Structure 1
Amino acid sequence: MDILVNETVLDPKYEGCTITSIWKPETCEFVDNVTCKVMSSQDDGDTVYNGTVEYDEDGCFYDPELKASLDYFRYKQFAKSVGVIIIALSVLGIIGNIVSIVVLVLKETKNCFNQLLIALNTFDSLYLIFAILDVIRSDFPHLYEPFNELSPYFLTMVHFPFHRILMCASIYMIMGVGVERYIAVCRPHHYRELQVRNNRALLYIFPSLVAAIALNIPRFFELVVVHYCIDLTDCDCPVGLQSVVTMSDLRKSPDYVLYYTNIAWLIFTGIIPVVVLTILNYKIYHAIQMVKQNLQHRTGNLGAAALRTTNMGKSPVSQITAEDNPESRRIKRANQQNKECNLAFILVCTVVFFFLCHIPRVMTNVYEALIIENESKCQAQKKDYVKLWYLHIIVLTNVLQALNASANLPIYLFGGKSFQASFIALFRLDKCMERQNTCENSPNTEMRVLN
């Protein structure tokens, strides 16, 4: 589109248009005659992809050449197919997270760990909602139009920043769960003192959320909404107002891209979480092994004590389960330690899956930091540098992040014995299994098998 005027317009047909820049399309090809809106070229299904990309000695190329190539068309098809997978995975993840929250809320045991898992599932579910919106905006832009019509600032003030805030909140919430389990397993005496405090979970949830928001404050200023007056009178439409979202000067700054988008993001969402969770899980795993050894040793001692009391003609049950019996207190303490270890195992599974899903994202941040100088050279020539293979990797990392936020329920069912029991009781699966066992063991079933 060509700029008609770059100053205030006095022509009567522009009356009511207060924007200083008025644009006019070169052709009416991309103007919707019904809505009188200018559509982007990506909405046109008749685009011919037969162009070739020419790279200079620095690896730079013109973006329009890339978008007109057959390789880019294949990338778009790949991204759209993966986008459908992300949407399906996110919907299943949201359902699974809601089920996890219901089970954790209805569990008889109300503890800090369960409350932290509820917060983590909440953050992950909200993140998945924005992940779905991100796929719709990128791969199905016509479905995103209702959000643009709702407000042109929805993308800049809600979708874009909160998508990243919720990802960081989920990461920091996992770190909070790690600290809580470390205290419970490695500092049990201190943990028992902390249990008397009310709303102790807020000491982990609130800092995680505040840190996520603080880190992403600049995200609110990366995108801006630019309004244009568009002269569509040659297309049998009136002069209209078009709102376009574009990158701000802050986002285009090479220093901002290097120090915030790459280095700071890498440190605070990659290096620090990985290092902290690695140290905590190593200490927790080592403590779990020590607890298991102690439990085995105590079980052997209790068996010997029970045998001695039996030989003396006294009931081992009355001796061991008496409230004032030291052995009874040891049994309760051992059971509690076994429970804490089982909860810690849930954390270990969560962290291992977190590493598998987020390490590729961290590696892409490292790569972006390494090529920042080449990108700056290309941008100075008004060219691009990012290669198609890297765009494919970004799409796959989005799948992994959606998978990480969707895997809470399978992880809890795999690693948490108490959660398994609560899940089975909630959905009455125990009665189904009992009926199935009854049917299998009934005489009629045996007769059918014999026949």
Structure 2
Amino acid sequence: MEDFNKTFQFVILNLTTIVPSNADNRTYGLSKEFRMELNTFKFCMLGIIGNTLAVFGLLANTLSIIVLRHRKMRSSTAYYLVTLAIYDNVILVAMVVFFGLPALYESMEPSILESYHFNYSYAMPIVYPVSLAAQMASIYTCVAFTIERYIAVCHPLHAANTCTKSRAKKAMLLIFLWSILYNIPRYFHYRVDTKWVDEKNRTQAIAKETEFGSDTVFRQVYLIYFQLIFMFLIPFSILMILNSALIRALRHSHQQRQQMSNSAAREHNLTIMLVAVIVLFLVCQFPSIIDNILMASTERGQLVSNMHYNKFYVMCTFMVEINSATNFIMYCVFGKKFRMVFLHIFGCKKGQRTLQYRSTLYNTRTNGLRSCDMEVSLV
């Protein structure tokens, strides 16, 4: 048990692994040459590409919120996607604070980020738990709209009473409260100390674990078992099972596509878009699951002194950032209605005045079939 506890002494069991490098020294045991190689890799992946991706993601998620809040997009599903975009923006900000900018500093000498490097750990006790709450909320938001889509596609008779805007708002509120309450212990996990750096002739903020954060019960029960159950097993099992059912339903509906009505075709398109979002989520989050399993099953010293593992850890973080930044692309590629509303809002496509006719056929004694009750509408 003692070895088991040591294995988890420096483990950050969370999907995003959002934690400053000085709070989790993963480069322990690496030679100077390996450290330089790793810093260069982090500079490229998290510093250059990661920060660029974060800026794109923040802009894209903001555009998603604008489009999804349009009156033509208002639905229970749109409510879920708006909150998902908000949570993703919180995650991206945390990625920049704890990974992107520090990665730039490590490879820039002299660095314009020196003041930031010496002070960013002050954000640790607050931004760290907030970002983890946002990550948890984003996971369960994906679960919520997947359940709703499963009911709408596989049990359509229950959709009218279940897939409503009021129920979506209640679900989002419960997810928000649950994520905040669950992550309250995180606020007591770290504290910020300072140390004097002779080379720079100034103090540096250092995030360190508190006595509560280093407690054995807290680590084993909360950071290990609760994390595995509530962040991995429950949500990912639900997502994989329901997503498989949705994919089977999509294949079946594709065979009958010619017989679909317009409303059924729109539902089909929406389901494809949401399935694409969930598939992206599972693919991007899967490496982080492997990282946590490795940390749980392998002695810490063997991992943190291994260059391949350290690069894999950086890639896990980068994949989470990709997930938070690219949902907008999924909406544009797979969401026909989303594309149309986006083009309409930003003036990329002028609205066309088209006529839609609805007619009713009936029998007359003299002239056979005639039409009446014609409705004209402008779109």
Structure 2 CA distance for aligned equivalents of residues 166 and 63 of structure 1: 24
2:67 paired with 1:126? no
**8 Å Cα contact 2:194/2:204 also seen in 1:** yes
Residue-by-residue CA offset, 1:262-298 (whole Å, 9 max, x unaligned): 44323322232221011111222333344455664x5
**8 Å Cα contact 1:266/1:362 also seen in 2:** no
Moved more, 353-362 or 104-113: 104-113
The structure whose residues are more often strand, as a share, is 2
Aligned to 2:69: 105
Match of 1:214 among 181, 184, 194: 181
Structure 1 CA distance for aligned equivalents of residues 132 and 238 of structure 2: 21
2:136 paired with 1:168? yes
Aligned to 2:226: 264
State the shift of 1:124 in Å.
0.6
Aligned to 1:177: 145
Match of 1:425 among 340, 344, 358: 344
Structure 2 CA distance for aligned equivalents of residues 396 and 219 of structure 1: 24
Residue-by-residue CA offset, 1:155-190 (whole Å, 9 max, x unaligned): 21x222122221111111111110111122122222
1:175-324 equivalences under 5 Å are 175-194=143-162, 199-226=166-193, 244-253=206-215, 256-292=218-254, 296=258, 298=259
Identical-residue share of aligned pairs (%):
24
Residue-by-residue CA offset, 1:45-92 (whole Å, 9 max, x unaligned): xxxxxxxxxxxxxxxxx9998355211121112112212211100100
- The change in CA–CA distance for 1:432 and 1:66 in structure 2 (over 3 A counts) is farther
Q: Greater CA radius of gyration, 1 or 2? A: 1
2:278 paired with 1:359? no
State the shift of 1:107 in Å.
4.1
Q: Which runs of 5 or more structure 1 residues have no equivalent in the other structure?
A: 1-41, 43-61, 300-333, 434-451
Specify the code of the residue in structure 1 equivalent to 2:332: L
Aligned to 1:405: 324
**8 Å Cα contact 1:179/1:280 also seen in 2:** yes
Aligned to 1:154: 123
**8 Å Cα contact 2:30/2:306 also seen in 1:** no
The TM-score, its normalising length taken from structure 1, stands at: 0.63
Q: Secondary structure at the match of 1:429?
A: coil
Structure 1 CA distance for aligned equivalents of residues 204 and 26 of structure 2: 24
Q: Secondary structure at the match of 2:72?
A: coil
Structure 2 CA distance for aligned equivalents of residues 208 and 260 of structure 1: 19
- The change in CA–CA distance for 1:65 and 1:201 in structure 2 (over 3 A counts) is closer
- The change in CA–CA distance for 1:241 and 1:124 in structure 2 (over 3 A counts) is closer
State the shift of 1:211 in Å.
2.7
State the shift of 1:199 in Å.
3.0
- The change in CA–CA distance for 1:363 and 1:263 in structure 2 (over 3 A counts) is farther
Aligned to 2:372: none
State the shift of 1:243 in Å.
5.4
- Aligned CA RMSD, in angstroms, stands at 3.4
**8 Å Cα contact 1:262/1:366 also seen in 2:** no
The TM-score, its normalising length taken from structure 2, stands at: 0.74
Q: Which runs of 5 or more structure 2 residues have no equivalent in the other structure?
A: 1-21, 353-379
**8 Å Cα contact 1:92/1:406 also seen in 2:** yes
Aligned to 1:323: none
Residue-by-residue CA offset, 1:169-220 (whole Å, 9 max, x unaligned): 111111111011112212222221246x653322221222223223322221
2:309 paired with 1:347? no
**8 Å Cα contact 1:173/1:205 also seen in 2:** yes
